[in-house]
Amino acid sequence: MAQSPTRIETVMQTIQSRITSRTYPPGTRLPSVRALAKTLGFSVSTVVEAYERLAAENVIRARQGSGFYVCGPMPPLALSDIEPRADRAIDPLWVSRQALEAGPDTLKPGCGWLPDDWMYEAGMRRALRSLAQSRNARLVDYATPQGLPELRQLLARRMAALDIEAPPRQILLADSSTQAIDLICRLLLEPGDTVLVDDPCYFNFHALLRAHRATATGIPMTPSGPDTAAFETALRQHKPRLYITNSGIHNPTGAILSPLTAHRLLKLADSAGLIIVEDDIFADFEIHPAPRLAAFDGLSNVIHIGSFSKTVSASLRCGYIAARADWIDQLTDLKIATAFGGGHLAAAAMLSTLTDSGYRKHLEALRNRLAAAMETAVARLGRLGIVPWLVPQAGMFLWCQLPHGIDAAGIARACLKQGVVLAPGNVFSQSLSASGFLRFNVAQCGDERIFSVLSRTLSQAA
Amino acid sequence: MAQSPTRIETVMQTIQSRITSRTYPPGTRLPSVRALAKTLGFSVSTVVEAYERLAAENVIRARQGSGFYVCGPMPPLALSDIEPRADRAIDPLWVSRQALEAGPDTLKPGCGWLPDDWMYEAGMRRALRSLAQSRNARLVDYATPQGLPELRQLLARRMAALDIEAPPRQILLADSSTQAIDLICRLLLEPGDTVLVDDPCYFNFHALLRAHRATATGIPMTPSGPDTAAFETALRQHKPRLYITNSGIHNPTGAILSPLTAHRLLKLADSAGLIIVEDDIFADFEIHPAPRLAAFDGLSNVIHIGSFSKTVSASLRCGYIAARADWIDQLTDLKIATAFGGGHLAAAAMLSTLTDSGYRKHLEALRNRLAAAMETAVARLGRLGIVPWLVPQAGMFLWCQLPHGIDAAGIARACLKQGVVLAPGNVFSQSLSASGFLRFNVAQCGDERIFSVLSRTLSQAA
């Protein structure tokens, strides 16, 4: 456009302020383009563009051959449109909503993601720029049901590096790993089925299983994976249909599956006809990759899923499912029925980011930064008597025990009032046996205020 | 980057071809960066960048302090990774998969979207470019659970223009209108519930309701909306929980709801405690807006949903739900549980595109282009004895009757073998009473071959 953007904005602001002051009440016909141009001493095209933009925002409306009219009034954004509600009960969705809805001034050591400036924003910008310019970018059409073949091929190569054999036709792209598990639950669960989860486990698994009317049963976690004796008992007692777990870096404990535990688990699952969903979203944090259940099992009873929300971007939704070919076909039908297309643009941007040679360097820097943050957080929390259950090899989470007798939910409620979102243990625990635990995200623990708020709140509770 | 992209690609291709020819079998250590740079006469940094990119694609792998190694073999993309299967039974998912999986040479008069170059690609490119440059674009973090407040505000204004009062806090962003209906079904349906749909209706409603184990019952369509007598009988007989419909431009018939029918429907629904989902995805095609049920009802028992997949982009997933505040809160919880965050980037790009003053001009041009395409398609189909049930005021669909006694599914199967994807009537019809109908997308009817294939197939069938 040839017109100066400042002039267009001046016209827009002039009109907008006359509408706000009710000089132009709703229904008023605006001055003609020509008349206003003359009054303001601007060109006709400047005023036309300003009117068009106001019409695009539905502030004014064009009537064929009769000019522009002021639309009905619309209240400005209210606080309730933006602010989280603080009055909810503490349940799995409490943490999600408090963390997702928090304003920029809130401190979020309880949230499950990295600060913006730890993510691969440079790569995202490059990817968007290149998509905006690309001639054959498919910016407007639906993706194919299984999703961008080139991204599936790259994912196949990435999984091969973890010894998982998953050809592209056995991979289905999803919008996130949460959607991936949701589709799997739709395919494999009946209401009332029992699903095994780790205790503690990612709290949203509880919310998701509740939405499927499934009964979750927790398996106690050990530093090398789930307790296999408890696993065996649960198989016998509950005849579960699914088991959902993280092998790489377990959320929230940071535990890492050992080959021994992996082998035992798979033997037990196999004899019980149990299907395992292995959620691998923390893969890119790992320094020495843990064994993967999907590698041992050859994608026969294990379904392997993941996404890049933790290391590339959570703003652009893109996850995946690797599974048996017949399941992938049925999952594809379910994806069409419940979401129609996938996000083609998200997949293209993710492909571009992951094959950008900078991503590997970003990950190296990120792992170092996380290791340093982990060390600092352990020391700072230690001074408050908050002790990690284990110090993980990698990743962002520290699963910590509070001083004896202190209730984590009470601390979380009190800290929220002081602008600090914490993740109290029982939202992770099916058996509600983690009331003395908090999960900390070390990457979100850089601000001194977190520790002063915690210290004050702990001494009031003691 | 300072290096020439061509040189980097030359190095990548050299290595890749040696891997393919098994000069470098899996596990081989690649020449050192320095040695290869000398051999090829390129700079060290060129070779480093080429190795980094191959490593990013998982073709080779770096081992700390010991150089780069060839990864295990990975088969190239197989045909089965890209091509649709032609052997499925003709059901609602048949049309979706054939149309979504079709290659670029396939003709798709049966599909439900516009050709790429009819969409607002210029606006999308502008939006992506501006997001890539923007300082405060949130390119990497999760969206707030209800979604970008500024987009919700714009949607509120757009709905106000249709006399629907929906303040931003009563709007929830979804990834698509399909996801919107899916969330509503999760909230309001129990397995076994009856849901009323129009007969015919958008075929994916059938697939979606099946995924929720709901029973769909069809209400015959008239040119001014559903048959209210049949609606009344269905309410009495089936005690349905929901009714899903399009008021603006009905898919597939092009019918437009009249104020009289709207008023009767709402009176009947109100006395039966029925909730109505009004899917408004074709709103931007309308020339004279039809009445909206959500406007008459004030969002008390009507839920209004929509998306921009039909006029802006289907590659970037973004839809919305406007409903009672308490439902929006519960739907938000369900969205977190089953999809976690929404796509922040998709919402930001959609906001930018919709407020771009070019969008209104794009829509005007689009409506004119569709009107012309409609006229041509009616004439061409008429010559083959294929007659529209009505000629719609606007939109892309023509619901057409075949010459007497000819079965649309048979024609669709035969045309598919000749590279033409059709949409046979019964996939839209709950009562399977539309075996003599086809839905045509006039925007996808530009190619003469469609009519020659149809003509030949019809005369073989007659």
Mean pLDDT over all residues of chain B?
91
Burial zone of B220 (CB within 10 Å; 0-12 exposed, 13-18 middle, 19+ buried) = middle
The predicted complex's ipTM stands at: 0.88
Tens of pLDDT, residue by residue over A383-440, are 999 999 999 999 999 999 999 999 999 999 999 999 999 999 999 999 999 999 999 9
Q: Is the dihedral of CA B157, B161, B166, B167 positive or negative?
A: positive
Given a contact cutoff of 8 angstroms between Cβ atoms, the answer to whether B168 and A120 are in contact is: no
Work out the minimum CA distance from A355 to partner chain B, whole angstroms. 5
Interchain proximity B101–A204, CB inside 8 Å? no
Tens of pLDDT, residue by residue over B223-270, are 999 999 999 999 999 999 999 999 989 999 999 999 999 999 999 999
Nearest to B167 among A75, A139, A342 (CB): A75
Interchain proximity B154–A334, CB inside 8 Å? no
Tens of pLDDT, residue by residue over B181-193, are 999 999 999 989 9
Interchain proximity B128–A128, CB inside 8 Å? yes
pLDDT value of position B93: 85
Tens of pLDDT, residue by residue over A327-353, are 999 999 999 999 987 889 999 999 999
Average pLDDT over residues A61-65: 80
pLDDT value of position B80: 56
Interchain proximity B129–A132, CB inside 8 Å? yes
What are the tokens at B220?
Answer: 């015959």
Task: Specify the DSSP element, H or E, that contains A277.
Answer: strand A275-279
Contacts of A317 in chain B (CB under 8 A): 175, 317, 339, 341-343, 346
Task: Provide the 10 A C-beta neighbour count for residue B276.
Answer: 21
pLDDT value of position A86: 57
Work out the minimum CA distance from B224 to partner chain A, whole angstroms. 25
Interchain proximity B314–A72, CB inside 8 Å? no
Mean pLDDT over all residues of chain A?
91
Task: Specify the DSSP element, H or E, that contains B67.
Answer: strand B67-70
Contacts of B146 in chain A (CB under 8 A): 81
Helix axes A5-20, A44-56, angle to 10 degrees: 60
Tens of pLDDT, residue by residue over B91-123, are 888 888 888 888 888 999 999 999 999 999 999
Nearest to A337 among B58, B93, B169 (CB): B93
A-B Cβ pairs (cutoff 8 Å, strict): 310
Average pLDDT over residues A218-247: 97
Tens of pLDDT, residue by residue over B402-432, are 999 999 999 999 999 999 999 999 999 999 9
Tens of pLDDT, residue by residue over A288-326, are 899 999 999 999 999 999 999 999 999 999 999 999 999
What are the tokens at A178?
Answer: 């949460």
pLDDT value of position A2: 44
- A59: Cα separation from own chain's centroid: 34
Closest residue of B to A55, CA-based?
B357
pLDDT value of position B5: 62
User: What region does A211 belong to: left with phi over 0, alpha with psi -120 to 50, or beta?
Assistant: alpha
Contacts of B75 in chain A (CB under 8 A): 167
Interchain proximity A182–B338, CB inside 8 Å? yes
| Four-point Cα dihedral B154, B157, B162, B165, nearest 10 | 110
Q: How far apart are CA B230 and CA B273, in angstroms?
A: 17
Domain architecture of chain A: domains with CATH = 5-70 (1.10.10.10), 80-119+360-461 (3.90.1150.10), 121-354 (3.40.640.10)
